[in-house]
Homo-oligomer: A and B are copies of this chain.
Amino acid sequence: MPTMTAAQQREQAKHEFDAFLADCPSRVVLERISDKWVTLVMASLSDGPRRFSELSRRLAGVSQKMLTQTLRTLERDGLVSRTVTASVPVRVDYELTDLGHSLQDPIKLLKAWAEDHVPDVREAQERYDAAHDAGKNS
């Protein structure tokens, strides 16, 4: 592998990944970012750095455990940077990296779609439930 620069390797790798194959790296990455907490955390960090407690408050319903875990994974994947300020009390800020910012557009689109189509989904659910409940009461 010495006769190939990192850039060349990356360029080649780009075209070899099909997210549908089970053990394909791109699928692993896709599964990682297709996670509800990942989506929400990334969206929460879209407008600047946030402290742990801020995220915890903003993402009502997330447990500290899952928030910590999600942030660790995002940090490991290079999407989020973690900055510890050694004061009393300790202050920890999380911020999107450049790589993290590059994921913002897809996530924002997803979030926008969700907020846009709530009525459609609800209506579909009601129709489905109505048709299904009717079948049950026979």
Per a CB cutoff under 8 Å, which of B22, B106, B107 touches A60? Answer: B22
In the complex the two chains form, what is the Cα distance from A116 to B11 in whole Å? Answer: 9
In the complex the two chains form, what is the Cα distance from A35 to B25 in whole Å? Answer: 17
- Contact size class for A? 35 or more
| A-B CB contact pairs (8 Å), 19 listed | A13-B118, A19-B43, A19-B114, A20-B58, A20-B59, A20-B60, A25-B118, A26-B114, A26-B118, A31-B40, A33-B110, A33-B113, A76-B125, A76-B128, A77-B125, A78-B124, A99-B124, A102-B117, A106-B109
Contacts of A128 in B (CB 8 A): 75-76, 78
Hey, which bits of chain A sit against chain B, CB under 8 A?
9-10, 13-14, 17-23, 25-27, 29-31, 33-36, 38-40, 43-44, 58-61, 75-79, 99, 102-103, 105-107, 109-111, 113-125, 127-129
CB distance from A105 to the nearest CB of B (A): 7
